[in-house]
Amino acid sequence: MAVITVSRKLGSGGDYIAKEVADILGYHYVDKEFIGAVLDQYGLVGFDEEYNSIPSFWEKFNAQKEERREMMVAMLNRVMRAVAHHGNVVIQGRSGFSLFEGYTDVLNVRIQAPFSFRVERLMKREKITHDEAEAIVKQGDEVRATFIKSFYNIQWDTYTAFDVLINTSKVPPEMAVKWLVEAVKELERKGLNEEPTTASIQVDPILAAAVSKALKCDALHR
């Protein structure tokens, strides 16, 4: 019942790595789309209206009113804890590493690469100019750093919060996937008997049921 959080810098290949690890392990893959769907199913009053009224909330949240942002982050955290409580999940982004520090069944992973490498990678992938790619990567870094600092009081580039750090400019994504799969299997072999584990997280029963249902349905559609 392990939980893997994957924090990644834009253009580092972290999305691909997180998905591949989940597929190989047979774990559920959780991203921003999944979390948004759960919040909708849970029936949070007014959330859809608020969420959809913010252009690209996940990237431009820092331009919005503080009260609205805090409300959304509180909702996000509740869903994230319910997902972790369920177990056998790979959580991509959403500041998972800051929520589950100290849990013995959680593997916090950071996927990164130098700025210039990520710019070149984004240029090739999206077929855009160097200036366009550079602006996107720079903005992505600034948004993530501000989010983590503002709501969790953690420096985004801190390394102490992570169990595994991988630089994809030196380690190919395919190799990173193999490493992480083996790391999770080793975590599982230990039995996950040491406390505390994510199973001890207190979750609202209705939200827990909504998350379990969403994970099951999502798995059927993959």
Per-residue pLDDT tens over the stretch 180-217: 999 999 888 875 667 889 999 999 888 888 888 888 87
- The residue that leads in pLDDT, 123 or 159, is 123
Residue 147 tokens, joined: 């989010």
Beta carbons of 69 and 152 less than 8 angstroms apart:
no
Q: Is the peptide bond before 173 cis (omega within 30 degrees of 0)?
A: no
What is the rounded CA–CA span in Å between residue 122 and residue 91?
22
Per mean pLDDT, which range of 40-44, 96-100, 108-112 is the poorest?
40-44
The amino acid that residue 59 corresponds to is E
Beta carbons of 26 and 134 less than 8 angstroms apart:
no
Phi, psi of 102 (to 5 degrees): 95, -15
Delineate the domains of the chain, giving CATH numbers in brackets. Answer: 3-215 (3.40.50.300)
Mean pLDDT of the chain: 82
Name 177's Cβ contacts closer than 8 Å, sequence gap at least 6: 17, 20, 21, 24
Residue 133 tokens, joined: 């790619």
pTM recorded for the entire structure = 0.83
Phi, psi of 160 (to 5 degrees): -70, -20
Per mean pLDDT, which range of 25-34, 73-82, 154-163, 164-173 is the poorest?
154-163
Task: Give the pLDDT of residue 47.
Answer: 44
What is the rounded CA–CA span in Å between residue 32 and residue 34?
5
What separation in angstroms does the CA of 163 have from each of 53, 108, 194? 37, 5, 17
Helix 115-126 with 130-152: angle, nearest 10 deg? 120
Q: 98-130 burial string, b = 16+ CB within 10 Å, else e?
A: bbbeebebbbbbbbbbeeebbbbbbbeeeeeee
Task: Give the pLDDT of residue 13.
Answer: 94
What is the rounded CA–CA span in Å between residue 62 and residue 92?
20
Name 101's Cβ contacts closer than 8 Å, sequence gap at least 6: 108, 161
